[in-house]
Amino acid sequence: MNENHLLGIITTYFKDKIFENHKINSLKTHSKLKSYKINPIIVKYLSKILENDFTPIGIAKALYYPRILGTSINTSFGTRIQNMFVELNLAQGSLIKGMDIEFTDKIDGRKKWCQLKSGPNTINSEDVNPLLKKFTTVTNLARTNAIHLNNSDLILGVLYGNEEQLSQHYKKINQQFPVVIGKEFWHRITGFPTFYNKLVSNLDTMILNLDTEDFFKKGYTTLAKDIEASDLFTFE
């Protein structure tokens, strides 16, 4: 598969599997009151600062905005990309617990066992030791099963960003196991040195041309109607 063909397939995958799914879930699930755990005091306060009043639309925005703009798409992003690599035969799902994918590195030709992370600041200090323990466990397991690998065959793959942006937590892991980020990671998995930069450019163009169908407003308006009909709140 040539580079332009693969770029087209992955750009379409982002559109259909990540962005369109986000839109569908925003309207199907997140616009329903039952999908939220509500702190009534906090949502009243948030309604006040959003709408300067305690109203169904204010409550709806207080619930809907963080869900749609944050957790709902960020949570699914890494999993979707992991599935994409497997579906496009760029990698296989790993049979080793603690690793996400396995693939043949297109730079050095060696098999890599990889755990995926989304971006350069997506782990916390408390994640470092458990991650290091996972990698060490895999190393020991490989030795027990006479699998010839070295520390450089176990990598933490970071989907976007560059080395300068890596947090100190990643840098600590990188002292023992390679943290491969952005351009280098996509080069290793696709075989194309400039793939990451071209993909970012393609995604920028695609996103600017997306028809959002005003789904964001439709979602919180539907949620506001659900809130107005609920007995959880009393509005004057």
pLDDT of residue 150: 76
In total, how many domains does the chain have?
Answer: 1
Assign residue 138 the CATH number of its domain.
Answer: 3.40.1560.10
pLDDT of residue 144: 66
Is residue 236 in some structural domain? no
Instruction: Decide: 128 and 135 in contact? Cβ < 8 Å.
Output: no
pLDDT of residue 95: 80
What does pTM read for this prediction? 0.89
Is residue 216 in some structural domain? yes
Is residue 172 in some structural domain? yes
Is residue 234 in some structural domain? no
Is residue 131 in some structural domain? yes
First to last CA, the chain: 63
pLDDT of residue 145: 65
Mean pLDDT by 10 residues, the chain (236 residues): 95 96 94 94 95 95 94 86 96 88 95 94 92 88 69 92 95 95 98 98 96 94 95 84
Is residue 99 in some structural domain? yes
- CA distance linking residue 227 with residue 61, whole number of Å: 11
Is residue 235 in some structural domain? no
pLDDT of residue 49: 96
pLDDT of residue 38: 92
Residue 57: name the closest of 220, 229, 236 by CA.
Answer: 220
Secondary structure of the chain in HEC code, one letter for each residue: CCHHHHHHHHHHHHHHHHHHHHHHHHHHCCCCHHHCCCCHHHHHHHHHHHHCCCCHHHHHHHHHHHHHHHHHHHHHHHHHHHHHHHHCCCCEECCCCCCCEEEECCCCCCEEEEEEECCCCCCCHHHHHHHHHHHHHHHHHHHHCCCCCCHHHEEEEECCCCHHHCCHHHHHHHCCCCEEEHHHHHHHHHCCCCHHHHHHHHHHHHHHCCCCCCHHHHHHHHHHHHHHHCCCCCCC
pLDDT of residue 137: 87
The residue segments making up the domain with residue 74 are: 3-229
Is residue 22 in some structural domain? yes
